[in-house]
Amino acid sequence: MKFRFIETIKNIWNIEELRTRLTITFLFVLVYRFGSFIVLPGIEPAALSKLQEQTAGGLMSLLDMFSGGAFSNASIFALGIMPYISASIVVQLLTIAVPYFQKMQREGESGRRKMNQITRYLTIFILLIQSPAYLANLSVQMGYAGASLPEGVWFTISSVVILTAGSMFVMWLGERITDKGVGNGISFIILVGIIARLPQAFLQELTSRLGDATGGLIMFIAEIVLLFVVVSACILLVQGTRKVPVQYAKRVIGNKQYGGVRQYIPLKVNAAGVMPIIFAQAIMFIPITIVGFSTNGEIGPVMQAFMDNTGFWYNFVFGLLVVAFTYFYTAITINPNQMAEDMKRNNGFIPGVKPGKKTAEYIDTIMSRITLPGSIFLAIVAILPAFAEILSISRGFAQFFGGTSLLIMVGVVLDTLQQIESYLLMRHYDGLLKSGRIKGRTGSIAAY
């Protein structure tokens, strides 16, 4: 096993294009991590203790995790990639309701470029709203620590510009990773932010358990075993498929025979990938945007319930949103009519089903049936961190027992490894696994 791993690393290094892409990805990640520690000009890092306490739990901890700790560091990248994700949600929702956006979606590559440009403009608009809100919250938290933000309109304007430019630069890094590196760049940026918190959370949980007289190391080992079980379940969720048989009729052209074979369409149990949980999480950040930056600290009971990520109503609504977004994203990812048309054009048909409209209806029915259990399973995984906290697992480590963190990590890692494996196989090298090829989220889009 050890020699096979070394041989695989050598094979990866021997492919010049893959070596270049991995190097570029690594350098861009370094730039992103370096920027996460550059504090906004005029702010004393020692006065951020209360902000870091605020982001130690609840929804703020998730926001800080997505930014790789930049939020709690008052960094130039403090707002991270989430405004871009929020803007993309709005634009994709508009493709369902607004005919103008539906027309752009049908225009192919040119329409996609227009929608990407609109998404960028909307991202800037969201950043111009979130940046002053972030500064307002920062001012309150620094006040609790006995410090204050620099006074003056110039500081506010310059900080808003820096925060906006910082998030747009992170978005640009993600796009460059997609074009020049390995994997989906936006997903990779989120992955890096999550992984950056893992070592600290792991050590804190280990230290806490070693100092606990009731359980100690045995409880920590049980947590690790449980974590591996959840990871395995997430891998099955990402890779699960339902195979639909397709028969291609025989055609004789000249002296050659075409078709006459049976193939399978692998319909994904979770065709939407990791996007539903990201979409739902972005929606659940709205209470923070509305009342989290309040200067008087008064929060109503309804908003308080939705800001408690271990509470019933938060997790109930979160789970429903995950199910709804799973159906929504599956609908815009899988087009049964197009699939039926392609099969008919290639002289293929599903045994026992008439080609054309009946085939599209059959595929749509199958997708609806497998999406329901997939979406429910996805919702359960999404709210697992709340149960982990109830079982006395520390908040930081509990985030890796499911939810956004684990699902993104599993999905993005599998997609990236699958892309690396495709380079190896194209150059006639062995794949990464001896038992078979890595199955990512082929057939659906990546995390973004």
- The model carries a pTM of 0.74
Helix%, strand%, coil% for the chain, nearest 5: 70, 5, 25
As a CATH number, domain 22-181 is: 1.10.3370.10
Comparing 216 with 185, the larger pLDDT belongs to 185
Q: How far apart are CA 419 and CA 412, in angstroms?
A: 11
What sign results for the dihedral spanned by CA atoms 54, 58, 61, 62?
negative
Q: Which helix (H) or strand (E) holds 345?
A: helix 336-345
The domain limits of the chain are 22-181, 198-448
- Could you report the per-residue pLDDT of 348-406, keeping only the tens digit for each? 778 878 888 888 888 888 888 888 888 888 888 888 888 887 777 777 777 777 766 77
CATH number of 198-448: 1.10.3370.10
Indicate the Cα dihedral angle 135, 136, 139, 144, nearest 10°.
Answer: -130
CB 367 within 8 A of CB 340: no
The mean pLDDT value for 409-432 works out to 75
**Residue 183 in contact with residue 418, Cβ under 8 Å?**
no
pLDDT band, very low/low/confident/very high, at 288 (cuts 50, 70, 90): low
Q: List, for residues 45-59, the tens digit of each pLDDT value.
A: 877 777 777 776 656
Phi, psi of 349 (to 5 degrees): -155, 155
C-beta neighbour count of 152 within 10 angstroms: 10
> How far is residue 387's CA from residue 379's CA, in Å, rounded to a whole number?
13
For residue 320, what are its two tokens? 């429903």
Which 3 state secondary structure label does DSSP give 244?
A: strand
pLDDT digits over 317-355, tens only? Answer: 888 988 888 888 888 777 788 788 877 777 777 887 888
Quote the CA–CA distance of 270 and 198 in Å, as a whole number: 26
